[in-house]
A = this chain, B = another copy of it.
Amino acid sequence: MINDTNVRLGKTRSVIRELFEYGKRRKAEIGEENVYDFSLGNPSVPAPPEVAEELHNIINATDPVLLHGYTSAPGDPRVRQIIANYINRRFSLSLDGDCLYLTCGAAASLTITFNALLNAGDEVISIAPHFPEYKVFVNHAGGVFVPVRAKENTFMMDINAISSAITPRTKAVIINSPNNPSGVVYPESDIIGLCRLLEEKSAAFGTEIYLVSDEPYRELVFDKSIKVPYVMNYYARSIVCYSYSKSLSLPGERIGYIAVNPAMREFADVYAGICGAGRALGFVCAPNLFQQLIAKVYDKTSDISIYKRNRDMLCKALTEMGYQVVPPDGAFYLFVKSPESDAVAFAERAKKFELLLVAGDDFGCPGYVRISYCVSPEMIKRALPAFGALAQSYGI
């Protein structure tokens, strides 16, 4: 009698959560240090010290009626302008603060964007492997989720496959680079190819197709030579969904933004749609204290060198053991080919070695497992013999 879709959604725990809960039970049984939990994408590195310092400063220096009061729904205009200026300096753009809408984090950025863009039955294309909640968010907004497989072995986008998937009902393509769960960064040539395709298809169908870039991992790139292209430099109908959860290790505080490219002709409508969707979904404003914090630390990051060391240690060791690994450019995930075709069975067997790995099926990519390496380097060291024994059990 009540809403069945949401009841089911509330009852089905994601595979990731399920595994995490199993891990908690198992740790209680055999000891914390004997379970190698690679299930969650929860930053393991603390926020940079400026976060605590500035929180103290802001609380001390600001009239509490202002500090804890409502901001305008899109966020404090001063904070938005500071973020816009920073985007402009980094990417040679000229946004003003009114192109930004501050949100309660990446998930909110995405649900608000989809609710602004989609009418019932509109299609959203995503490149698999993809973050599993995309489907939930698109469906709630009335849309149809259309995953398109990335190229086998490299996880780069397959422009031909995307081209075949675009229809007159395609309203948006969502990309996520660095990617969860593969860690790949799409190079500029791919972004240019995708944007050209979207322009051609929009013209052919007489439709508008939006490019939504989900960027919680933008700052988590480990080699200076790797550039993450900024979609606004390539495509007018682009929207960037950003979050400070991973870059500043603040996932529980829910702070991020939507940036709408002012180059699109219908900018005013899209921005109004975002304001309307935010209102209808019940997001009154982003948490004010964290808005003020971002104005101070917008260009800081946590110490991501730990993630880089974790990546390098794991990639080297797993490759030497015979696992097939695509070395990730960023984020804190490693997507590893399952030695048997059924990755769910592989992840089950890994549990016998106390290794908690997430099967790729929910990411739209069976045959692989995701390893979250936002963990302590010590745990990785302790886990390596288990990875070795697991490989041996397959005779690789």
Contacts and interface: CB of A to CB of B under 8 A. Distances in A.
A59 interface: yes
In the complex, the count of this chain's copies comes to 2
Contact-residue bracket for chain A: 35 or more
B252 A285 contact: yes
Given A2-B117, A253-B288, A282 B52 contact: no
B1 A69 contact: no
Nearest to A252: B288
A63 interface: yes
A117 B3 contact: yes
Given A2-B118, A2-B269, A9-B280, 17 more contacts: A2-B208, A4-B119, A6-B115, A6-B273, A7-B269, A8-B276, A9-B275, A10-B271, A11-B272, A42-B70, A46-B65, A51-B68, A68-B250, A108-B284, A109-B282, A111-B281, A281-B281
A150 B216 CA distance: 48
A20 to B, nearest CB: 10
A254 interface: yes
A64 interface: yes
Interface stretch (A133-141, A155-163, A329-337, A338-346): A133-141
A284 B254 contact: yes
A7 B278 CA distance: 11
B280 A115 contact: no
Contacts of A271: 10
Residue from the set A59, A110, A279, A282 with the largest chain B CB neighbour count within 10 Å: A282
Contact of A64 (B51, B110, B116): B51
Interface string A248-291: 01111110000000000010011111111101111111111110
Contacts of A4: 119
Nearest to A62: B52
A196 interface: no
Contacts of A183: none
Given A108-B283, A136-B280, A251 B2 contact: no
A369 interface: no
Nearest to A291: B252
